[in-house]
Structure 1
Amino acid sequence: PVASLAPKIDQSVYMVGREQKQALLHHLIGEHNITRTLVFTRTKHGADKVTKKLNHAGIKADSIHGNKSQNQRQRALDGFRAGKSHVLVATDVAARGLDIDDITHVFNYDLPHEPEAYVHRIGRTGRAGATGEAIAFCDRSERSLLRQIERLTGSKINATTDLPDLPKPEPKPKSDSKPESNNGEAHASYADRATAKPRSAKHRSGAGDRYNPNKSRNQNSRKPAGRGRSHPRSR
């Protein structure tokens, strides 16, 4: 069956690489001066990551998900309703029963695995006769999810591949320090172990470095071939 959508919700989808999603989100929020929006991610870790980067960029944001206590979620909702934060990042589970007025935009940062969840997400804008905008980000791995959503809703979502000029994603920071064990000694990383030169069989056995008293005794007790002990001939 075809799911019904509010008639005043304008849907669009950006075909974008995963590493560009965060920069595109910042750009669209700033360009449209969005101050009341929901952003949906697929995971709790993703919600925290998006929220942290939004705040780092000067965009006031908070998040709600299953790893947060009821008090933490309530404070985030109260702050969003009061305008202390302009963006609320949420997972589908945490957003169940969420009732907030005047949501102007809904971003699908990650497309949901269940197409019905998309309908529930964007239904939080365009309420009470107001207009709303639902914007989805779709990377290469999510294209099948997009097709499922379009089959469910019975309409093709306006797609664009013409992206604005976005800053390049920041490289992942490299850790200079190695993790310490309980006794304060640093563990060798997997890369260090993988690139270390293998010891020779001689060193692995220890035969070339260690003194072996049994070997010495065995060598001294050996007799030369022939009868008795040979003596040097006098000249």
Structure 2
Amino acid sequence: MGRSWQGRGRGRDMEYDKGGDNIGGASLKKIETEKGVIARFVIGRSANKGDSMDKSIDAENSQTDDFIILDNVVEAPEEASKKVKLFFAYAADRWDAQFYAKANDNIYVNMDALGSTLAAHLGKPRAYIGCMKSGEVFSEPNQKWYEPEWWKFGDKKAYFRHAYGEMYVITNALARFVSINRRVGSKKMGFQERTPLMVAAMYGSFGVLTYIISTGRSDVNRVSSDEKVTAHHCAVSACFVSIVEVIKILLDASTL
């Protein structure tokens, strides 16, 4: 399946590709130069290290050079939280950014809108921007999301409040905290994730926005048809507007 990356901003369509529908190599440099975006797919290793999946990823990466491969992460649902944590640690160690944003890879991100939002809050060095969630802990074995250790969550049977994984942003100080404390359990840090993700970093006073996208498959179509993207973009935009109001409250109250 061909791979492509698209972004819409300032009322015009922008597409960067390689060979018609692939992103990699020269296209990555073009994005970095023209848009200030560094794009990478981030992935862990197979449970059976060195198998055909690992070899396929390595072979693709040798051609496109657009993967970050985390050797200490097994690409499996039970390691998703660890993957989020190590993404932030990796990004903080590699790039001295002011913001590090993460979104599921099915979320459409308007980079210009995100950049403007983040630039307006450069004076808040220890902020988490996004939504929080908790929710019921299911204690019956026949329930879909049965939690075997439900008894650890007390009488109310509710998960501790944690970062909602659709999209959130943390500042440099918090990313450094994650990096320094990377040996601490992922869920103790509040990370909860069940799907592929994207990490972004914003450099300087306003400029370089880094997107790191992860997937569990090397043949994923990274962008659907224009019609699908447009429809999804509208839905996500509507959601993002409501989240922005929450973001303002979180930022104003940030005293970490």
Instruction: Give the alignment's TM-score, normalised by structure 2.
Output: 0.27
Higher Rg: 1
Instruction: Give the alignment's TM-score, normalised by structure 1.
Output: 0.28
